[in-house]
Structure 1
Amino acid sequence: MSPTVPVSFKELLDTFELVSMANPLGEYQAFICRQTGKIYCHSDSEDFAEITDELPHDVEDDEKYIAVPDKRELDLGKPMVLDFAREFLPGAFDEVRYIFSKRGAYQKFKALLVRKHALEQWYDFENKATEQALRRWCEFNSIAVTD
């Protein structure tokens, strides 16, 4: 697989965040064209009508296009939270693990972070982990990035 034309990392990160936000319902997809570097975004939902492109007819061709992953595909859900808790909240690790064994975990986790005065630390950790994971994904998939 040959490297793609360079893709803006900022644009890819923004697209990744949108795909991750919408994908519990599978409402949003994005693909990178390996030949032009263009990112095509698509959704059948009215909520995303302004940011939806018409997909190329051959978007299923894995040699020409690659789907932008979501957070779960890059293990940026529960595994990342547990890594954070292990490193920054070791005294609350069991509580965090318990929170993530139930529904509504992120809301309860955020409340715990506020109580522990660790919310900003979490956001910094999450942003760095997301960027590192997305850059690794790009490297693995021979996607050249700029910025």
Structure 2
Amino acid sequence: MAYDKIDDAFHYISDAPPGERTAAVHRLTGQVFLASHKAGFDERPAGSETDPDYLTIPHRQDLDPGKPLLLEFVRSHCPAELARVEALFARPGAFRNVKDLLRRKHLLANWQIFESQQIEALLRKWCTAKGLPL
């Protein structure tokens, strides 16, 4: 099964608010079916919602560890800023403010690479847990 198809569908779903787009993968064939409630199309076969051979691909928010992932990055890349970053999470706009801090420290690109790698690892772990051979 091609991981790229699942990854593409994952990004398709995650580029919209949760619930606006969905995707399913057929466990046996690896075929991916997309749907967009807003655009009014649905490629999923009838009955796929209840068929155990079809798995709904998760939205990024379903996999994204959020704050713990960001704190892990800070611990490993700029540990001197950990207390400051933790304090930022006590106020609204924490992620924006932390990203501003990382930008000033010239670490934003490193964060984006780290985050992307971790999300990919989580999606691959999801595939393995669901019995999807990659």
- Equivalent in the alignment of 2:22: 29
Greater RCO (CA < 8 Å, at least 6 residues apart): 1
Offset, 1:77: 1.9
- Equivalent in the alignment of 2:130: 141
Q: Distance in 2 between matches of 1:68 and 1:33?
A: 10
Q: Any gaps of 5 or more consecutive residues in structure 1?
A: 1-5
Q: Any gaps of 5 or more consecutive residues in structure 2?
A: none
Which amino acid in 1 is paired with 2:69?
M
Q: Distance in 2 between matches of 1:21 and 1:114?
A: 23
Picking from 49, 73, 78, the partner of 1:84 is 73
Offset, 1:62: 4.8
- Equivalent in the alignment of 2:54: 65
Which amino acid in 2 is paired with 1:90?
P
Q: Distance in 2 between matches of 1:42 and 1:88?
A: 39
Query: Under a length normalisation based on structure 1, what TM-score does the superposition of the two structures give?
Result: 0.78
Q: Distance in 2 between matches of 1:42 and 1:144?
A: 23
Deviations 1:50-79 (A, max 9, x none): xx5432111222511111112232243222
Which amino acid in 1 is paired with 2:14?
S
1:106 matched to 2:99: no
Offset, 1:117: 0.6
Offset, 1:141: 0.8
What SS class does the counterpart of residue 25 from structure 2 fall into? strand
**Percent of residue pairs identical:** 35
Which amino acid in 2 is paired with 1:135?
R
What does 1:47-62 align with in structure 2 at a 5 Å threshold? 52-62=41-51
- Equivalent in the alignment of 2:14: 20
What SS class does the counterpart of residue 69 from structure 1 fall into? coil
Runs of 4+ in 1 over 6 A off after TM superposition: none
Offset, 1:41: 1.1
Q: Distance in 1 between matches of 2:55 and 2:90?
A: 33
Deviations 1:6-48 (A, max 9, x none): 1x21221122123223134x211111111321111111113xx
Q: Distance in 1 between matches of 2:98 and 2:53?
A: 40
Give RMSD over aligned pairs.
Answer: 2.0
Q: Distance in 2 between matches of 1:40 and 1:87?
A: 39
Offset, 1:142: 0.6
Alignment size in residue pairs? 134
